[in-house]
């Protein structure tokens, strides 16, 4: 792990803490309020605020998880730095792609 | 007082990486250290037993071994404090190559001190004046807190990250680098930060604190590593570590 990846991992962790809490509160409020899927979508579609919120969330989670996967691979497998980094970056791209697809479906589709 | 007939059961590692434990019975004494037990075996029961020691008073750092599963300095570890049910299991230190029996090869350990640039680098030329280092300066206090390392390798053996990643510089080398970085007379302090920022450097520490828990002289390498993380982050953000 380099200073930059350390900074990115700690920074994204700090960023995700309030995002996760907000996400959980919104889920609980939606469920307690008895909202249906259609009613939730009617509130999220076209909302720049929710698009930005989950866009940031997905990006932070993808970066954080990718670096974490690299660390785990270096510590628990015989893989070298380049191989672990390649898999970690690929994992980041996959997570970011899947997350972006979900945001598109919830906010714009 | 201990009965003259009381005996300790000691299982001692024999061989290299591959080997087995051999059992010995050693007379139990009052105020007996683990090193006393090993020395008794070598002098009275099996002269071929290989182990290492020098000062016997906790200064040289050469007698560290794994005692009942924990890394310890054996010359200052009393049997009465660690023997469970009159039994001792003594093995070489973890995370280092075994030369024979209880002797480990410390070469990789000290190579990491060099890799972490844990040595003093003088400035460019002779100084007109002596460097002023006040005893109460924050850097002096930080260096003092880290500098009494005896190089025993106990923290290195206790560190799980070292056991997972052979190339990780480890707590002793990084603690030394932190002491060196806090020496304001050093001519290349950025060089230390660059050395500990390599992919096997300080940012791999998980803050388990096994090093601080086991350090026989009460140092806290985890704290030193946290200091290096802060210093390297600041230097990175200022662009000082760019190639």
Residue B84 resides in a domain: yes
Q: Is B8 on the interface with A (CB under 8 A)?
A: no
Q: What is residue B225's predicted lDDT score, i.e. its pLDDT?
A: 98
φ, ψ of residue B103 to 5 degrees: the values are -100, 125
Given a cut of 70, whether residue B85 has pLDDT beyond it is: yes
Contacts of A4 in chain B (CB under 8 A): 236
Report residue A5 CA to chain centroid gap.
16
Q: Measured between CB atoms, which of A75, A76, A81 is closest to B199?
A: A81
Structure tokens at A76: 């628990």
Q: What is residue B4's predicted lDDT score, i.e. its pLDDT?
A: 54
- Give the residue-averaged pLDDT of B134-151: 94
Contact B203 A75 (CB under 8 A): no
Q: What is residue B30's predicted lDDT score, i.e. its pLDDT?
A: 87
Min Cα–Cα distance to chain A from B193, Å: 10
Say what the ipTM of the complex is. Answer: 0.83
CATH code linked to domain A3-108:
1.20.1300
Contact B241 A76 (CB under 8 A): no
Q: Assess whether B161 and B187 both reside in one domain.
A: yes
**Total domains in the fold of chain B:** 2
User: What domain range includes position B89?
Assistant: 7-104
Q: Assess whether B146 and B54 both reside in one domain.
A: no
Q: Assess whether B73 and B130 both reside in one domain.
A: no
Contact B203 A76 (CB under 8 A): no
Q: Whole-angstrom Cα distance, residue A99 to residue A85?
A: 21
Q: Measured between CB atoms, which of A1, A7, A76 is closest to B199?
A: A1
φ, ψ of residue B241 to 5 degrees: the values are -100, 5
Given a cut of 60, whether residue B3 has pLDDT beyond it is: no
* Angle (nearest 5°) at CA B178 between B177 and B181: 85
Q: What is residue A105's predicted lDDT score, i.e. its pLDDT?
A: 94
Residues in chain A whose Cβ is within 8 Å of chain B: 1-7, 71, 74-76, 81
Last residue of a domain, one of B104, B124, B142: B104
Q: Name the more confident of B5 and B26.
A: B26
Q: Whole-angstrom Cα distance, residue B28 to residue B23?
A: 15
Q: Whole-angstrom Cα distance, residue A100 to residue A102?
A: 5
Over chain A, what HEC string results? CCHHHHHHHHHHHHHHHHHHHHHHHHHHHHHHCCCCHHHHHHHHCCCHHHHHHHHHHHHHHHHHHHHHHHHHHHHHCCCCHHHHHHHHHHHHHHHHHHHHHHHHHHHHC
Contact B236 A7 (CB under 8 A): yes
Last residue of a domain, one of B104, B121, B142: B104
Q: Assess whether B115 and B228 both reside in one domain.
A: yes
- Give the residue-averaged pLDDT of B24-48: 96
For residue B174, how many C-alpha atoms fall within 13 Å in the half-sphere facing its CB?
Answer: 32
Q: What is residue A24's predicted lDDT score, i.e. its pLDDT?
A: 96
Which among A1, A14, A83, A85 is the top mutation candidate for probing chain B, defined by the most B β-carbons within 10 Å of its own β-carbon?
A: A1
- Give the residue-averaged pLDDT of B7-18: 96
Q: What is residue B127's predicted lDDT score, i.e. its pLDDT?
A: 66
Last residue of a domain, one of B79, B104, B129: B104
Report residue B160 CA to chain centroid gap.
14
Q: Assess whether B144 and B77 both reside in one domain.
A: no
Cross-strand partners of B15: B19
Q: Measured between CB atoms, which of B164, B236, B241 is closest to A76?
A: B164
Q: Assess whether B216 and B124 both reside in one domain.
A: yes
Q: Assess whether B147 and B74 both reside in one domain.
A: no
- Dihedral sign for Cα atoms in the order B101, B107, B110, B116: negative
Contacts of B232 in chain A (CB under 8 A): 3
Contact B161 A75 (CB under 8 A): yes
Q: Assess whether B88 and B148 both reside in one domain.
A: no
Which residue of chain B has the CA closest to A9? B203
For residue B243, how many C-alpha atoms fall within 13 Å in the half-sphere facing its CB?
Answer: 1
Residue B242 resides in a domain: no
Q: Whole-angstrom Cα distance, residue B184 to residue B198?
A: 22
Question: Distance from first CA to last CA of chain B, Å, rounded?
Answer: 66
Write out pLDDT tens, residues B110-125: 999 999 999 999 887 6
Q: Whole-angstrom Cα distance, residue B105 to residue B117?
A: 21
Band of residue B84 on the pLDDT scale cut at 50, 70, 90: confident
φ, ψ of residue B22 to 5 degrees: the values are -120, 135
- CATH code of residue B32: 3.10.20.30
Say if CB B78 and CB B31 are below 8 A apart.
yes
Q: Assess whether B87 and B122 both reside in one domain.
A: no
Contact A71 B204 (CB under 8 A): yes
Please give the mean pLDDT across all residues of chain B: 94
Residue B1 resides in a domain: no
Q: Is B204 on the interface with A (CB under 8 A)?
A: yes
Q: Domain locations in chain A?
A: 3-108
Contacts of B233 in chain A (CB under 8 A): 3, 6-7
Given a cut of 60, whether residue B48 has pLDDT beyond it is: yes
Contacts of A34 (CB under 8 A, 6+ apart): none
Structure tokens at A81: 């730095």
Q: Assess whether B157 and B115 both reside in one domain.
A: yes
Contact B197 A81 (CB under 8 A): no
Residue B243 resides in a domain: no
Given a cut of 70, whether residue B2 has pLDDT beyond it is: no
Residue B22 resides in a domain: yes
Given a cut of 90, whether residue B49 has pLDDT beyond it is: yes
Contacts of A2 in chain B (CB under 8 A): 197-199, 201, 203
Length of chain A: 109
Q: Whole-angstrom Cα distance, residue B237 to residue A84?
A: 25
Tell me which residues of chain A have a pLDDT lower than 50: none
Contacts of B119 (CB under 8 A, 6+ apart): B113, B180
Neighbours of B155 (CB within 10 A): 28
Contacts of A71 (CB under 8 A, 6+ apart): A1, B204
Helix (H) / strand (E) element for B104: namely: strand B103-104
Which residue of chain A has the CA closest to B160? A75
Write out pLDDT tens, residues B160-172: 999 999 999 999 9
Contact B241 A7 (CB under 8 A): no
Q: Is B203 on the interface with A (CB under 8 A)?
A: yes
Contact A1 B229 (CB under 8 A): no
Report residue B35 CA to chain centroid gap.
17
In chain B, pLDDT over 70 holds for what percent of residues?
A: 96
Q: Whole-angstrom Cα distance, residue B96 to residue B87?
A: 25
């Amino acid at each position: 792990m380099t200073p930059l990846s350390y900074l990115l991992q700690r920074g994204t962790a700090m960023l995700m803490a309030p995002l996760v809490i907000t996400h959980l509160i919104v889920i609980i409020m939606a469920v307690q309020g008895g909202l249906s899927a259609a009613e939730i979508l009617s509130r999220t579609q076209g909302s720049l605020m929710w698009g930005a919120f989950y866009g940031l969330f997905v990006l932070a989670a993808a970066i954080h998880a990718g670096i974490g996967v690299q660390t785990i691979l270096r510590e628990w497998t015989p893989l070298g730095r380049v191989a672990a980094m390649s898999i970690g970056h690929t994992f980041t791209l996959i997570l970011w792609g899947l997350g972006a697809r979900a945001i598109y479906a919830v906010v714009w589709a | 007082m201990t009965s003259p007939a009381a005996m300790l059961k000691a299982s001692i590692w024999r061989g290299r990486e591959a080997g087995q434990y051999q059992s010995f019975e050693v007379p139990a004494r009052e105020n007996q250290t683990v090193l006393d037990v090993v020395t008794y075996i070598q002098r009275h029961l099996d002269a071929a037993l290989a182990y290492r020691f020098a000062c016997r008073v906790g200064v040289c750092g050469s007698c560290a071994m794994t005692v009942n599963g924990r890394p310890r300095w054996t010359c200052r570890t009393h049997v009465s404090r660690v023997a469970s049910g009159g039994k001792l299991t003594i093995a070489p230190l973890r995370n280092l190559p075994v030369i024979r029996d209880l002797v480990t090869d410390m070469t990789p350990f000290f190579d990491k001190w060099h890799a972490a640039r844990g040595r003093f680098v003088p400035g460019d030329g002779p100084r007109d004046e002596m460097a002023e280092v006040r005893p109460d300066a924050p850097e002096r206090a930080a260096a003092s807190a880290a500098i009494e390392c005896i190089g025993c390798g106990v923290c290195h053996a206790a560190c799980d990250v070292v056991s997972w990643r052979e190339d990780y510089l480890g707590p002793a080398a990084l603690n030394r680098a932190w002491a060196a970085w806090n020496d304001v007379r050093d001519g290349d302090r950025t060089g230390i930060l660059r050395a500990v920022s390599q992919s096997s450097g300080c940012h791999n520490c998980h803050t388990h604190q096994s090093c601080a828990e086991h350090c026989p002289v009460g140092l806290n390498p985890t704290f030193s590593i946290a200091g290096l993380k802060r210093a390297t982050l600041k230097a990175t953000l200022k662009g000082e570590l760019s190639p």
